């Protein structure tokens, strides 16, 4: 899951990036409203975490512009503005949730999981595909009811594939989900992660679609 964090407080942003990264999310950060609009216009994100008191362009204006452009990315507002009217305005403009500062990081992560579940059409924090089960809250994976040990990005790769069974993901799409801006990516990184996941589960779990990329599912190639 790729998240855009829009926060001008560098200390808070750094802490949130660390917490979200530990929860196996890929996080991109911008510090003002104009940069946020540009990032959402030119990049695909699964969630935006949006402060309201931003330099250059207020978060409410960012939200309004994004929705006018037809971008349906889920938006979780983080703000010190605690008046009921502020919450109503943000929610009516298209925000999906509103969390008031100061907040507990565990609550933020729980709200992120709620939006992740909603995006995937889930009612619980679990993704399933056949004998495979992913616990989104505990970041645990089981295969045929037995726990398996996945590395950080192996979990991220598998979660991305299971969220949309039968969808073919190109290597560049998977790299964007697993790596942030400016992170070096080896040319065979995705292939290596796929190999490791197959070895720990089943060689046929992840399908190679020749010339395109990878998918998880039972469609004929």
pLDDT tens digit string along 57-114? 999 999 999 999 999 999 999 999 999 999 999 999 999 999 999 999 999 999 999 9
Residues 6+ apart with CB under 8 A from 7: 13, 16, 29, 31, 49, 51, 78
Residues 24 and 97 placed together within one structural domain of the fold: yes
Question: Same domain for 6 and 115?
Answer: yes
Give the structural domain span for 32: 2-120
pLDDT at residue 176 tops 60: yes
Distance CA 80, CA 160 (A): 32
Domain boundary residue, one of 120, 135, 166? 120
Higher-scoring residue by pLDDT: 123, 133 = 133
Closest among 11, 9, 6, 12 to 33, alpha carbons compared: 6
Q: Is 102 in the same domain as 169? A: no
What b/e readout covers 83-116, taking b as 16+ CB neighbours within 10 angstroms?
A: eeebbebbeebbbbbbbeeeeeeeebbebbbbbb
User: The whole model's pTM is what?
Assistant: 0.88
Last residue within a domain, chosen from 105, 120, 135: 120
Do 74 and 130 lie in a common domain? no
Among the residue ranges 106-115, 151-160, 176-185, the one predicted with the least confidence is: 176-185
Q: How far apart are CA 120 and CA 129, in angstroms?
A: 13
How far does Cα 26 stand from its chain's mean position? 6
**Do 8 and 115 fall into the same domain?**
yes
As given in the structure block, the two tokens for residue 46 are 């699964």
Residue 201 lies in a domain: yes
Mean pLDDT (the chain) is 94
Residues 6+ apart with CB under 8 A from 49: 3, 4, 5, 6, 7, 16, 75, 76, 78, 108, 112
Q: Are residues 32 and 87 in the same domain?
A: yes
Please say if the pLDDT value at position 5 is more than 90: yes
pLDDT at 187 (0 to 100): 85
CA separation for the pair 36, 50 (Å, rounded): 9
Q: How far apart are the first and last CA of the chain?
A: 26
């Amino acid at each position: 899951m790729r998240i855009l964090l829009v926060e001008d407080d560098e200390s808070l942003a750094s802490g949130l990036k660390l917490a979200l990264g530990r929860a196996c999310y890929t996080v991109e950060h911008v510090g003002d409203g104009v940069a946020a609009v540009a990032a959402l216009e030119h990049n695909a994100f699964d969630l935006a975490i949006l402060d309201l008191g931003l330099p250059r362009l207020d978060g409410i204006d960012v939200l309004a512009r994004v929705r006018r452009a037809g971008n349906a990315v889920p938006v979780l507002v983080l703000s010190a503005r605690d008046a009921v009217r502020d919450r109503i305005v943000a929610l009516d403009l298209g925000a999906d949730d509103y969390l008031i500062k100061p907040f507990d990081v565990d609550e933020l992560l729980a709200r992120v999981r709620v939006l992740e579940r909603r995006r995937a059409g889930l009612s619980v924090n679990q993704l399933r595909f056949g004998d495979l089960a992913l616990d989104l809250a505990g970041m645990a994976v089981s295969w045929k009811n037995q726990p398996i040990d996945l590395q950080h990005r192996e979990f991220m790769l598998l979660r991305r594939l299971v969220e949309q069974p039968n969808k073919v993901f190109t290597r560049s799409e998977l790299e964007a989900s697993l790596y942030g801006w400016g992170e070096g990516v080896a040319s065979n990184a995705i292939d290596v992660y796929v190999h490791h996941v197959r070895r720990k589960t089943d060689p046929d779990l992840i399908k190679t679609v020749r010339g395109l990329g990878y998918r998880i599912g039972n469609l004929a190639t």
